Every structure is written in C-alpha cells, then in structure tokens.
Amino acid sequence: MGKEDMNYSLLVEMYERIEATTKRLEITDYLVDLFKKTPKKLIDKVVYMTQGKLHPDYMGIELGIAEKLAIKAISLSSGAGEVEVDKALKKIGDIGEAAAKFLGKKTQVTLFHEPLTVSRVYETMDRIALSTGEGAQEAKIKLLASLLSDAEPEEAKYIVRTVTGKLRLGVADMTILDALAVAFCGSKENRPPLERAYNLSSDLGGLAAAVAERGLEGVKKFKITVGKPIRPMLAERLASPQEILEKMGGRCAVEYKYDGERLQIHKEKDKATIFSRRLENITHHYPDACQLVVNHVQASAAIVECEAVAINPDTGEMMPFQELMHRRRKYGIQEAMKLYPVSLFLFDLLYADGEDLTLKPYPERRRVLESLVEEGESIKLAKALVVDNAEALEKFFEEAVAEGCEGILAKAVYPESVYRAGAREWLWIKYKRDYQALLTDTVDLVVVGAFHGRGRRAGTYGALLLAAYNEKEDVFPTVCKIGSGFTDEDLEKLPRMLKDYIIPHKHARVVTQMKADVWFTPSLVLEVLGAEITLSPVHPCGINRIRKGSGLAIRFPRFTGRYREDKSPEDATTEDEIVELYLKRLKKVEA
Ligand code: AMP
C-alpha cells in the first residue's frame, strides 16, 4: 500500500464507533479523527463513502444493487450455497451481517491476504455502479465477490451494506461540515464559510478535498461552477399582507408564484444543464427549456432559476402542475414536448459570465436578469412589482391567482437581500392563502365570447368566455375562460353552432372586463367541470360578495361534452349559486 492510500479497516472502525454511539457530538469527534488520518488525495472518497455514496448526488450515479445479486456474490466468495445465504439473511434480517457471517467462516481456512485499501474498495464499487447493459449483472457479482474474498468479516458487512444502499449511518451534511471545520480550519466556529461553499457546489467530497489541501483559504476561494448545482433558496410562509410587509421592512417586491416545476438552468455557450429542486440532473426531460435558455439568455455562461409551467398548446393558457408529470419519462420526450409544451418564468440569476451574483441584493440580480433575458413567447421574467402597502400587495395576489398562479412570493429588497443558497429564511415569503374552494359539481354556463385559436386550433376557437346568470339584474357576469375538454369534433362544430349569434361588440347584458375576439348574444349553454372557485380581479361574477373589488372565477374549467341545448341562457347556473358553492366548499376545505 502506498503512502497515498489507507486501509479500509480504518473506515470500518469509524463506522462501528458511529453506530455504537448515542451522542451526536461524538460522531463529529470520530469523523475528525478519521479525516486527520486520511491522506489528502482520499478525503473526497472517504466523505462520500461515509454517506453511503461514491459521487455527489447531482451526478445521478446510483449504487444500490439488488439484494439478489449481493447474495450471489456472498455465495461465490464464501463457497456457501445461495439458498443457505438467503435463509440466513431471512433469519438475521441484515444483508451486511449475513455477509460477515459467511465470510467469517471462510477466513478461518484461508491464509494470508492483502488488506483492503480505501482506493481499491472505492474503485471496485465505482465499477459496480457504472457497469450497465448486457452482462452487467454478472460483472457486478464478480466485482463484488472479488472484494469480499479479500475482506475481513466486518469489512464485508459494510461493503455489502454500502453497495446495496443500506449503509445508513445517518451522518448529516452539517455534521461533516463541522468535522471538516475542526479537522482543517481550526474549529467549528469556521463552519459558515464551509457551509456557503457547500451550498454553492452541492459537493461535500469536492469541498473536503479543497479544504484538506488548502485550509480555510481554499474554501474562501471556492467558486460557483457552471454544471454544479447551487442548493436552492427556499421561502418562508405568512398569512397576511400586513405581516409580510412588516417582516420585509415596509417595502418588498412581489412576484407571481407560478405553479410548475422549479428548474435551475446552467448555460454554457450553446449547451444547458437542468437541475431539479432536489438537484437531480433532469436535462433530458426538458430539451425545449435548454434551447430557450441558450437562445434567450444573452450571456455565454449563466445560471438562472425559473419555474417551468405546462401550457395548453391550443389556448396558450397555463395548466395545473400535474400535467408536467408527463415530462418525467425516459422515452418519447419529443412527443411529450408537443403535447405538453412549457413556458419558463425566470425569477433569479445566480451567475453570469464569471460573476457570482448570489451575494448581490435582489433588486440588482433582477435588474441584471432583465438586461440579459430577451423575452419570447415561451420565456418570460416572472411578473413582478415593488409594493409598500397591503392593498397593493393583496391586489397583485388576486391578479396572480386569477391568471392561474398559486399565489405570490414576496421578496426582500433591502441591501442584505442576497441569494441564500440552501436556506429557508425570511428573505422570501410565500403567500398562498386558500381563497380556493374545491368544485366537484358541474355548472352550466353561457357562451358570451370567444378567442381565436392558435397552433392546432388555428382557424377555430381556442377558448370560449363563459358567464353565469344574475337574475336580479338580468345580466351575464363572466366566470371563466375555457379551452379544455373540447374534442376535435367539438372544435369543428362550435363556430358553426355559434355563427348566428355573432355580434360586433360585447352584448349589453354581458358584464366583464375581458376582451374577447368575438362576441355573442348569450344563448348556447355548456356543462362545465372546474377544479375550484377562486377570487378574481377580472371576472365580475359575485363581485364584492366575498371581498371588496373581487369577483369569483372557476379555475381549470373543462367542458364535460354536454351541450345543454335543453337550457335557455336564463336557466344557466346563477351568480348566487356560484357564491354559495364557493362558501360551502371553502368551509369544507377549512374543516
Ligand atoms: P413552496 O414550494 O411552496 O415552498 O414555494 C416555493 C417554490 O415556488 C419555489 O421552489 C419555486 O418552485 C416556486 N416559484 C414559483 N414562482 C416563483 C417565483 N417567482 N420566485 C421564486 N419561486 C417561485
């Protein structure tokens, strides 16, 4: 064994001590001990292995081989039959202990063998993790058996636990950071810069190597790297505009909170890499998002954060978050891209052309983001506004909800409003008070207007404007725009059915702020199923009944396929009924 290597047994000793202790602080001490003994070249590997890994999570290299394969390897290396190993496993319940048992029997009869080194164990495990395709299973079994043949029983126990993904020592990231601070930077007091470096790189092993090599100075120089995910900043939550403003010092920015998937997109020239909120590499789910960022972010290297929202390709409207699940597939991505296109709403900029922006205050990050992004049909900045009073904040919230968002995110604008990677603090506060009532009954609504279709719906209507009926005033206040649930046949039929009702302007009995492309005399009634009813600043149905200045809207409405030709427009669901539905459902949700 060279000077640069270390016996695996030292690692095993540390594993055993950690398993035996009941005190968190002792875990740190054991780690410090081990890190000090570890050759610098190996420290990254030792850190990964302590967490049962070989690489940082974002690389997506899974170690967990099936127990079935581990049994075969134990059998091969110990000479015991597979059935026997399997039986013992069932009795003991831990594959690691089972391995130790069989290899213990065997080592009594073998003579001398080379002690296992950390490098050898690591490299062999890495080959196990990386072998894929035909013959991979055989290869994995052979590689594992070769390690086990040279292992002491206790070593075998931890090797098998590690490769099957069952090494669960429960050593938290923060404990490792503490141990690194003590071992290489003098004391735990020095953890904050280490923590920041970790939050910027999501790579504990890489950080350990830097700190072991160059101490605190090395850490301070730790830079953002395009291609290594930054741990995302998270939001706190409050329930009223007043509380939010108070926390923010009386003034803050508010942004629409889009209901999609958070993407951290790393652009480098004409290539982009996408990380999920949990830092998985999900580039292959979103080739379209990569292209959008490559084309529209005017920097040769940049890291942006955005929300990807599914868009109805026929109407251009935002769809519920669940629709994005269609993107989570290995094959058929091109098809999914067509059926479930996305729009990106950019909300932060963490890095641009060599400059780390995470330490700049929010207004500056936003300003640079605005200057670098060339907005397009499918890539926009998150809608934002700076407010200093509760009314303005509330109004913006209602607009956001009416446009299909979940609510808003309030963001601090004072000089310390940096991007706090990996932290949930009061710099971002979400506000998504439940002003939504679940809707399970269908409603019958009157068609009062229409919008021209795009894409597949060019030449027909993309969406219709629907209204309820107000008996007292004999008017039709609108409650939603609907684009979902129509078959190709419906789409073809609708212009014909509505042709005779077209008028050049909004009908006098229709109340709305919406601007339709085509207006109709209220006549055709459709049956509609919505997901929920929400407050709305644009639809006047139920105006001022729940909240001053707000009406109600049906969110995510779908045509059920039933034309209610049996109903006259005056037989449609009334405004009172919608208000009642809202109140009734809201109570249920709260209960
Ligand atoms: P939550 O997941 O409820 O804690 O809310 C925070 C999430 O909202 C973020 O992780 C993003 O995925 C999402 N989001 C949507 N719009 C924005 C925005 N404008 N700024 C920040 N986050 C946003």
Mutate to test the pocket of ligand 1, among 236, 254, 258 (most ligand atoms within 8 A of CB): 258
Round to whole Å and give the CA distance between 576 and 186: 70
The pLDDT of residue 590 is 46
Q: Is residue 362 lining ligand 1, measured as CB closer than 6 Å?
A: no
- pLDDT tens digit string along 79-92? 999 999 999 999 99
Query: Which residue, by CA, sits nearest to atom 14 of ligand 1?
Result: 257
Round to whole Å and give the CA distance between 336 and 343: 14
Q: Is residue 430 lining ligand 1, measured as CB closer than 6 Å?
A: yes
Query: Which residue, by CA, sits nearest to atom 22 of ligand 1?
Result: 257
- pLDDT tens digit string along 394-443? 999 988 987 878 899 999 999 999 999 998 889 999 998 665 566 667 89
Query: Which residue, by CA, sits nearest to atom 1 of ligand 1?
Result: 235
The pLDDT of residue 438 is 65
Round to whole Å and give the CA distance between 340 and 319: 9
Round to whole Å and give the CA distance between 366 and 371: 9
Q: Is residue 54 lining ligand 1, measured as CB closer than 6 Å?
A: no
Domain with CATH 1.10.3260.10 in the chain: 8-52+170-220, 67-163
Alpha carbon of 422 to ligand 1 centroid (Å): 14
Contacting residues for 229 by C-beta, under 8 A, at least 6 apart? 58, 202, 264, 266, 275, 279
- pLDDT tens digit string along 231-252? 999 998 887 899 999 999 999 9
Q: Is residue 58 lining ligand 1, measured as CB closer than 6 Å?
A: no
If one looks up domain 67-163 in CATH, what number appears? 1.10.3260.10
Query: Which residue, by CA, sits nearest to atom 12 of ligand 1?
Result: 262
Mutate to test the pocket of ligand 1, among 282, 307, 420 (most ligand atoms within 8 A of CB): 307
CATH class, domain 441-590, is mainly beta
Domain with CATH 3.30.470.30 in the chain: 234-435
If one looks up domain 8-52+170-220 in CATH, what number appears? 1.10.3260.10
Catalytic residue among 257, 267, 360, 481: 257
Ligand 1 atom closest to the Cα of residue 428 is 21
Please, what is the Cα angle at 449 between 447 and 452, to 5 degrees?
A: 120
Q: What is the CA radius of gyration of the chain?
A: 30
CATH class, domain 234-435, is alpha beta
Alpha carbon of 438 to ligand 1 centroid (Å): 22
DSSP assignment string, 443-477:
EEEEEEEEEE--GGGTTSEEEEEEE-BBTTTTBEE
Query: What is the distance, to the nearest Å, from the Cα of residue 311 to the centroid of all Cα atoms in its chain?
Result: 18
The pLDDT of residue 112 is 63
DSSP assignment string, 148-160:
HHT--HHHHHHHH
Ligand 1 atom closest to the Cα of residue 432 is 3
Alpha carbon of 262 to ligand 1 centroid (Å): 7
Ligand 1 atom closest to the Cα of residue 406 is 15
Q: Is residue 259 lining ligand 1, measured as CB closer than 6 Å?
A: no
Query: Which residue, by CA, sits nearest to atom 8 of ligand 1?
Result: 257
**Dihedrals phi, psi of 241, to nearest 5 degrees:** -60, -35
**Dihedrals phi, psi of 436, to nearest 5 degrees:** -120, 130
Q: Is residue 347 lining ligand 1, measured as CB closer than 6 Å?
A: yes
Instruction: Output the CA–CA distances (angstroms, integers) from residue 43 to 14, 37, 169, 224, 297, in the order listed.
Output: 14, 10, 18, 21, 38
The two most distant CA atoms of the chain are separated, in Å, by 99
Mutate to test the pocket of ligand 1, among 255, 256, 262 (most ligand atoms within 8 A of CB): 262
Round to whole Å and give the CA distance between 345 and 305: 9
Q: Is residue 161 lining ligand 1, measured as CB closer than 6 Å?
A: no
Residue 515 has pLDDT above 60, yes or no: yes
Residue 502 has pLDDT above 90, yes or no: yes
Task: Give the Cβ contact number of residue 13 at 10 Å.
Answer: 15
Reply yes or no on whether 432 is catalytic: no
Ligand 1 atom closest to the Cα of residue 430 is 5
Round to whole Å and give the CA distance between 509 and 495: 22
Q: Is residue 409 lining ligand 1, measured as CB closer than 6 Å?
A: yes
Q: Is residue 257 lining ligand 1, measured as CB closer than 6 Å?
A: yes
- pLDDT tens digit string along 340-366? 899 999 999 999 999 999 999 999 999
DSSP secondary structure letter of residue 57: G
Domain with CATH 2.40.50.140 in the chain: 441-590
Round to whole Å and give the CA distance between 374 and 254: 21
Alpha carbon of 258 to ligand 1 centroid (Å): 7
- pLDDT tens digit string along 93-141? 899 999 999 988 765 555 567 899 999 999 999 999 999 888 999 999 9
Residue 275 has pLDDT above 50, yes or no: yes
Round to whole Å and give the CA distance between 124 and 385: 55
- pLDDT tens digit string along 454-496? 877 888 999 999 999 998 898 999 999 999 999 999 999 999 9
Query: Which residue, by CA, sits nearest to atom 10 of ligand 1?
Result: 262
CA 191, 197, 198, 199: dihedral to nearest 10 degrees? 110
Q: Is residue 419 lining ligand 1, measured as CB closer than 6 Å?
A: no
